[in-house]
Structure 1
Amino acid sequence: MNVDSVAVLGGGPAGLYAARLLKLAHPAARVVVHEQSTPATTFGFGVAIAARTQRNLEAADPATLADVLASGRPHDMRMLVGDREARVHNGALIGIARPELLAILTRHARAAGVEIEHGSRVGVEDQDADLVIAADGVNSRTRTTLADELGAHVDVAGGLYLWAGVDVALDTAIFAPATTAHGTFVTHAYPYAEGRSTFLVETDEATWRAAGFDASTDETPLDASDTASLDYLSDAFADRLGGHRLIGNRTRWLRFRTVHCERWTHGNVVLLGDAAHTAHYSVGSGTKLAMEDAIALVRAVDAADDLPSALRSYEAERRPQVARLQELSRRSRLWWDSFPQRTHLPVDQLMVAYMTRTGNVDLTRFAGTSPDVVRRGLAAYAGTAVETLPDDLPAWVLDRPLDHGGRRWPGRLLDPAERERLSTPPGDTVGDLARVAVELDDPWSADGDALVKRLHDLAQRGWRGFWLTGPAARGAVLTRLDVGERLREETGALVVVEGPPDTLGDLAAGLVAGRTDLVCAG
């Protein structure tokens, strides 16, 4: 189909990239981007672009990608806990300054013939273009205006995070905790330019309040930075900053907001990027989703006979991909929210736990890129040196013996017949393993706390452990493993997690990551 006019609301990655691709595909169309800020007031530190996203950009627009890569900074990743370190290779992952990325996208959009109007605050009601693209970010005015039509809602997380920077390029990305008198803070930091790194810090609400950051947040104007927090965190992470101090840029504590819309289109209006959906920063998804939305939208417009068909096709293609990434990001956020309870793990085992936290990367895949880390992680798990990686990693993991509470298990995989012999539903009589069905979305929620307390009480009464069952869906199995991790750490009792045979890889990863003691595939 042809389009004669396109209005783009928002000059972020989604809007600028969609504008360029549409103009290239429809040279006769008038494509106008309306951005309320000006280049001089653009703020932000670095963003990350992973290898798979780069491949998608290469296929859609190699010229733009070439400039992005030329300005980006590739980096590996390290997990740092005290003086312990585990390093993995990230391949083609790069960091790039957000203002530089926007400058590149702006330059290429203009080169294609796109008109860009900065300093213009316009709404969807002001547009009469054939196609209106709402790429106006997480605070989308369009989504607010059309909230009922789009079925929009926003989930707000309980933990808090703060974006800062530092005037040094770190050698690698780092993940590191800092424990203070008020609690534990965790940083996700990575280099993005010469002499510059992003330094994101997160913590739980109790620690945030104990440090007085509820007050400093209230006292900080929206256009200023929370200097009290920046000073405190500069001291807390002094060993990671090497004498440098954190830099603010409208820096304040925030709670992550997950945006959901039942529909991304209404009439001739379509939402892209953060306006339509968000996913937690720990999976590096914001820029990825924005630019891949743009690619999919232009492809749908080119293939359809009319605009309604194009928008339906766009949404049908992108929804499953976005839903999957939002679920991965939800699990990742929950893992990071509970990170401090894992810092006792050997650092290579902790890195395995990190890489397998969402179920997106299994042991075998991780071993293919970081064999030394996995080998040392397996050694920590098995309590014995591992000189070379076994050919069948999951089978090797499941075959390790376990000594627990005076009992010895020849391997970690139990036959389903053992369920009835070893476990019973908890009742008045104390038995061996309490068989419990787990039906939770969030293992660290109030419901999760209540379940763990109930099972802790059973352990106090004399039950020797827990056999966790539940729905066969893979997501439910991953949640049981998370509950198992809590039970192991908080009760010291034996934990068995059950799942269907097709989740054996997840169960094996859960064993190495310290989420369970034994597993059953039945």
Structure 2
Amino acid sequence: MQPRRVAVLGGGPGGLYAARLLKLAYPACEVQVHEQGEPDKTFGFGVGLAAGTQRNLEAADPDTLRDLVATGVRHDMTMRVRGRGVRVRNDHLIGVARTDLLAVLQRHAEKAGVRLEFGVRRAAAGLDADLVVAADGVSSATREAGSFGARIETGDGLFLWCGADFPLPDAVFTPVETEYGTFVAHAYPYSGGRSTFLIETDERTWRNAGFDATTAELEGEGVPPGASDEKSLRYLEKIFAGQLRGHGLIGNRTRWQRFRTVRCDRWAQGNVVLLGDAAHTAHFSVGSGTKLAMEDAIGLVAALRESPDPATAFARYEETRRPSVERLQELARRSRLWWESFPSRLGLPVERLMVAYMSRAGNVSLDRFAGTSPDAVATALRQYGGAPPDGDLVQWVLDRPLTHGNRSFPDRVSVPELEPLYVDLRNPWSPEADALIAGVRGGVLVTGPADRPAVLTRLDLAERIRLETGALTAVEAPRALSGDLAAGLVSGRTDLVQLTEEQV
């Protein structure tokens, strides 16, 4: 198809990138971006671009990627818990200042011939365009005004974004235990000599520290809409003083919030199509917001080029993009639940905790992590069961003996007779899960459906049982999922596993 005029609502990464790719694909088409904000003002700090995203951008538009990489900062990753740290290589990840990212994308969009309009709020219904690309963010007015079947799930934890005016040497994950509870920092360097600090906590800690009150104050009359929670920032820079190295925390519309996961039954209506956060979101702990938006842009333009009309193109765009988006949303959901329950794991040695972190969503196997970070995994394995093997890692994990209280087991698959606990739920931290755990009176064998998502959920519930009751736990699962079970054992999610010959 050959569009005559395309309007893009939203001048974030997804909207700008879609506009450039559209203009490159259709030089005769008039493409205009409408952004309600000003070009020199943006919300946020640093943005992460992982290796896979960089490969996709390289294939779609190498010129833009080259400038993004040139302005970015590469870094590894460190976790520090109770005075001990572990470092793993991750230098394919780059941190880019959001201001730099937008400047690069604006420059390349204009270079391609895209017109940019700033400072004016536009609505899809009032635009004279063949196609309207709605990239207007998580609070998309376009989505709310349409019939896209939107559903929004709000997380339990609270978080805020802030920054610091110095570059960390690595990305760092570190908790601080206070008189109110635990706060966890996710921090990483980005271009311009600065670092992002994302800090999260649970609701009880948030209320104990009085941050429910500071949040309410910001919602009062006379408070500028862009004001930051300065009381929270001053407290947080005090408790994270060791990580900040004498620097303060910088706010930019910094307020406590809960993560909203957006899902839509439909991504298009008439001549309007949703892109990026307007259509879907995935928790920040998998670093996916910018990735999904820019990859949506690639997928949308490819679908338009392959289709005779907008309706066919939008259907093809959704058909090709939805599976990968939903897969990432499921990984992000598991990751969000893991981070919201993170403080319960602080008794685990930091190396084993790093294994737990890497395997938390089922996306990175123990074998794969051992291949990329052999020193960290070797230490975790020694803590778990002695000198690690040269051969089959998974089988070695299953073969390690266990002492639990006054009971000893020759390996992790010799499961005694335990009370069976059938589990078929989606959230192992839900009220339904709470009720199951409240009924545990002794050792349990956690059973349920044979599919992989159900097994991963069982492992998480078994971890809660271990940590909250001290009971001996075993998880039943198909032998084909031994890799997941081995990661669960090293991560402290279960004591034993019972293998079945069921098909996954």
Q: Which TM-score tier does this pair reach, normalised by the shorter chain?
A: over 0.9
Give the 5 Å matches for 1:147-158: 149-158=147-156
Q: 1:20 matched to which residue of 2?
A: 20
Matched, 1:332 2:335: yes
Deviation at 1:234, TM superposition (A): 0.5
Q: 2:303 matched to which residue of 1?
A: 300
2:421 to 436, 442, 446: 436
Deviation at 1:406, TM superposition (A): 2.7
Deviates more, 1:239-248 or 1:102-111: 239-248
Q: 2:485 matched to which residue of 1?
A: 507
Matched, 1:247 2:232: no
Q: One-letter code of the match for 1:486?
A: R
8 Å CA contact 1:412, 1:517 repeated in 2: yes
8 Å CA contact 1:390, 1:396 repeated in 2: no
Q: 1:462 matched to which residue of 2?
A: none
8 Å CA contact 2:97, 2:192 repeated in 1: no
Residues matched between the structures, number? 495
Deviation at 1:316, TM superposition (A): 0.3
8 Å CA contact 1:20, 1:108 repeated in 2: yes
CA deviations 1:57-99 (Å, max 9, x no partner) are: 0000000000000000000000001210011111310000011
Deviation at 1:300, TM superposition (A): 0.5
Deviation at 1:163, TM superposition (A): 0.2
CA deviations 1:466-517 (Å, max 9, x no partner) are: 0000011111100100011111111111111011122111011000000001
8 Å CA contact 1:14, 1:294 repeated in 2: yes
Deviation at 1:391, TM superposition (A): 2.6
Partner Cα separation in structure 1 for residue 149 and residue 99 of structure 2 = 32
Partner Cα separation in structure 2 for residue 453 and residue 294 of structure 1 = 47
Deviation at 1:407, TM superposition (A): 2.7
Partner Cα separation in structure 2 for residue 212 and residue 238 of structure 1 = 20
Q: One-letter code of the match for 2:70?
A: A
Q: 1:163 matched to which residue of 2?
A: 161
Deviation at 1:445, TM superposition (A): 1.8
Q: One-letter code of the match for 1:439?
A: D
Q: Secondary structure at the match of 2:343?
A: helix
2:202 to 182, 197, 204: 204
Partner Cα separation in structure 1 for residue 44 and residue 340 of structure 2 = 23
Partner Cα separation in structure 2 for residue 248 and residue 405 of structure 1 = 49
Give the 5 Å matches for 1:63-74: 63-74=63-74
Q: 2:474 matched to which residue of 1?
A: 496
Deviation at 1:268, TM superposition (A): 1.1
Partner Cα separation in structure 2 for residue 405 and residue 157 of structure 1 = 36
CA deviations 1:202-258 (Å, max 9, x no partner) are: 000011011000111111233101000000001111111111111101100000000
Give the 5 Å matches for 1:60-459: 60-146=60-146, 149-220=147-218, 221=223, 222-382=225-385, 384-386=386-388, 389-414=389-414, 422-423=416-417, 433-455=418-440, 458-459=441-442
Uncovered stretches (5+) of structure 1, i.e. residues with no partner: 424-432, 460-464
Partner Cα separation in structure 2 for residue 385 and residue 171 of structure 1 = 31
Deviation at 1:130, TM superposition (A): 1.1
Uncovered stretches (5+) of structure 2, i.e. residues with no partner: none
Deviates more, 1:168-177 or 1:299-308: 299-308
Instruction: Give runs of ≥4 in structure 1 deviating > 4 Å.
Output: none
Q: Secondary structure at the match of 1:138?
A: coil
8 Å CA contact 2:455, 2:477 repeated in 1: yes
Q: One-letter code of the match for 1:212?
A: G
Partner Cα separation in structure 1 for residue 357 and residue 340 of structure 2 = 12
Partner Cα separation in structure 1 for residue 447 and residue 182 of structure 2 = 32
Q: One-letter code of the match for 2:32?
A: V
TM-score, structure 2 as length reference: 0.97
Partner Cα separation in structure 2 for residue 140 and residue 320 of structure 1 = 22
Partner Cα separation in structure 2 for residue 275 and residue 391 of structure 1 = 47
Q: Secondary structure at the match of 2:319?
A: helix
Deviation at 1:313, TM superposition (A): 0.4
8 Å CA contact 1:154, 1:259 repeated in 2: yes
TM-score, structure 1 as length reference: 0.93
8 Å CA contact 2:148, 2:268 repeated in 1: yes
Q: One-letter code of the match for 2:176?
A: A
